[in-house]
Amino acid sequence: MPESNLRIALIGECMIELQQHADGSLHQSFGGDTLNTAVYLARLLGSRAQVDYVTALGDDSFSDAMCRQWAAEGIGLDQVQRLPGRLPGLYCIQTDGNGERRFLYWRNEAAVRDCFTTAAAEPILKALPKYDVLYFSGITLAVLGEQGRARLLQVLSEARSRGAKVVFDNNYRPRLWASVEQARAAYRDCLQQVDLALLTEDDEQALYGYADTGQLLAAYGDIAEVVVKRGAQHCVVQAAGQRFEIPAQAVAQVVDTTAAGDSFSAGYLAERLLGAEPVTAAEAGHRLASTVIQHRGAVIPLSAMPQ
């Protein structure tokens, strides 16, 4: 889909992020899987695309700060709802000596849970099918709830009927679902509307118990393009009847793996939207992810972005 002036909407949740340091101190920022991808997409695509974020926030100072930060990154705010009296969710990252993460969440009352169920959501739901690309994740599905998921599926179906491309990042988080069966049903419904699936292999194994990458890819045979993210190992791309393995980039010291998958997805998608072949796109995804994991937090400084 190599075009200029693309309109891309990413749907999901951004939360207040607390990073816990070794001395117990906390650094506050903001993050969320689809928001992380939105930031990196906006940076990579620049004036060649309009990247909008779709979510619901409160009317508090943290929500104000989020919107200012997104606008500074060039992300459009037209589809962001501000719900009076509500708050965004919050999470804390605890990182061990190897850079691996543990997350603690406070999000049950987050405003995003009513993102598609308010009266203010109606014009947003009507606008979304007119975008060129719609992007969402397994976390999006979880936080929207049953009613919100049903409305999202309607939007995806209408968007594809107009020629839009739908991109899905699996990001399965068991604690967000009442049961694994509920999650599987929600994923199964949405995957019927997906053109590009960006799948973290560990999450797929946790959700479905796939024995290996081959079994995973066989299960996604009906989707036009599938990327399997495998951490420090090579990723696997299945597209147009072909399968490719693209090595990850080695990193001497991993500082924080937060947003590794989100940034890979941004790097891959940006290149595909600009007309690159899957192998080139995967190399770009690895390049960005390998840079991100050498910094703390979900979003690295603009000055640290790879060329």
The predicted-structure confidence for 34-80, as pLDDT tens digits, reads as follows: 999 999 999 999 999 999 999 999 999 999 999 999 999 999 999 99
CA–CA separation, 252 vs 113, rounded Å? 40
Where do the structural domains in the chain lie, given as residue ranges?
11-304
Residue 262 among the catalytic residues:
yes
Q: Which residues of the chain have pLDDT under 70?
A: 1-4, 99, 101
Q: Cα separations (Å) of 180 from 133, 149, 202, 206?
A: 28, 16, 15, 9
CA–CA separation, 149 vs 206, rounded Å? 22
Residue 131: its H or E element: none
Please work out, in degrees rounded to the nearest 5, the angle formed at the alpha carbon of residue 22 by the alpha carbons of 17 and 26.
30
Here the tokens at position 165 are 């491309």
Here the tokens at position 284 are 């770009």
Here the tokens at position 234 are 């090579």
Q: Say which of 33, 132, 169, 262 is annotated catalytic.
A: 262
Instruction: Look at residue 9 and give its three-state secondary structure.
Output: strand
Task: Quote the DSSP letter at residue 76.
Answer: B
**What are 199-239's pLDDT values in tens digits?**
999 999 999 999 999 999 999 999 999 999 999 999 999 99
- Show Cβ contacts of residue 91 under 8 Å, excluding neighbours closer than 6 positions: 15, 16, 17, 18, 31, 103, 104, 105, 106, 107
Say what the pLDDT of residue 4 is.
63
Say what the pLDDT of residue 113 is.
95
Say what the pLDDT of residue 99 is.
64
Say what the pLDDT of residue 3 is.
55
CB 54, CB 9: distance < 8 Å: yes
CA–CA separation, 97 vs 197, rounded Å? 32
Q: What is the dihedral of CA 301, 235, 206, 262, to 10 degrees?
A: 20
Task: Quote the DSSP letter at residue 175.
Answer: G
- Name the CATH architecture for the domain at 11-304: 3-Layer(aba) Sandwich (3.40)
Report the interhelical angle of 260-273 vs 278-292 (nearest 10°). Answer: 150
